[in-house]
Structure 1
């Protein structure tokens, strides 16, 4: 039997138990180069799309500014009542309160326990800074790391928290856009000039994607911990909680602008919330800090009416929803840093006195 095996052709590696022939090293190198090229192409396409969105939006915004009457613009500011401003602040507070739930759900998902005041501080400060400066993964992540790291959270925990919070935001906006396009298709058609049936199909597509996502994470949860690589996704029940929080946040933020609109703006709140979500998506896609220019151009183009009064409402909204929280966040972060330094000084003085 051994002699028969010796007479077999040496090239028959599979029969002799030898390992199958491997791909040449050049194949792996070519594959890596191809993947890198495709990533570069996708990145360049994304940058080109962002630049195009910014260019179109700034063109529309510039043309609108050229039609502004300074007298009417000032009168629109003066016509804004105190009740409108107070309601806008109240809805802004509700929105940021819902944002603290983003971090709360993410920390629960990661099985990390921290005091709620720390969660509220990290969430409020990170969103206030990232909304104003843009690049949320960098600015928001840096603020979260500065706040959470003394509590023992690792960089991996904070990265996972940031991803889960970002998914919560997109789930809420996707649900609002889907429902809005389905149930207010006629009103949306007057804005985007699509057929009402086409708007309903867009809405059904958005809802369908959300249902597929729920089914996917549910299936992965049934098979084991749903994960992408080393990152574990929230299960279906926690995802439903994310959607609810996202809807509360986006509806409150859109209401903060809605109450500032001029009285002649003939648009219902469900339609406006859908429009707000779409404008926010464009602002995020443009990578413009806070969607500046892109968000305003979309609202101005869609709502219509008195341009001077509408622009005054948008500027007031910027001051209330972006600038005021940013100033408060910087003050809070400064106070926390001062408290930390004072605590370090006291501990050093106590250690020196013991020596």
Structure 2
């Protein structure tokens, strides 16, 4: 069990885990200034990782974050990586760059994402949120893992940033694209993509756990960042985040976190060894997942507030059968099989 609580900050967690961060080679997607991924990158950079790869769609945003990192840590070894997760061509090109690094990476934090966007499609014609949040990361991660497998060096940590929003909907296997937008619901589409992030960790743990790969998904807490910049006041009100006057609803039950507190769970998932191995599930499970009170393997689990909380996951989001089905569908959508 992790020693950290919902109040723990990324500064505190990084200081405690500095010996694990030092010398690591970490890549974080979606690292715009003011984002959860950007905050995690900023704090990790202060603990002497051997390499910190900042990945995102816009070079200007990556440079802004790199400047902020080097202002506090002039000697930080950063590398910028252009990565548009809505384009499989871009994903493949970015993966080639990562695979060309002499020592590769050993920690991958998939933090990039889009939330409740108007209906749109990726360059391959997939519904935008599913195609970006899941398929882009699925392809990117597997291309990197495949290279490491060929060199028999698969010890690696993969962190997939999900959301409590996964409870808004399961993966719609019979209709991933909402009838090509005809019955599109932006929040259900977001939920589908966040459920997929969780199932991806379940699959990675099952398929590659024996080869040294650890994978966790997580909910960083409720935080207002740039991911919601396109939403109208009406959207925020319907989502339950704001009232009609545009004021944030600070209900403690909604698990509001600061940016630093939200980033802490990413860092715990990536570096805290206490969450690995066998874990005893919480006794206050409010889902129909049955653990029989026995310790379970934590690899593939879902974290909330720096602790493993599979009991706070919708059953469909941690179901191994759904995970396997999603893996097969994802392979079809990227036109490549990943057999481990």
TM-score (norm 2): 0.28
Which gives a bigger RCO, structure 1 or 2 (Cα 8 Å, sep 6+)?
1
Q: Which has the higher helix share?
A: 1
TM-score (norm 1): 0.27
Answer with 1 or 2: which has the greater Rg.
Answer: 1
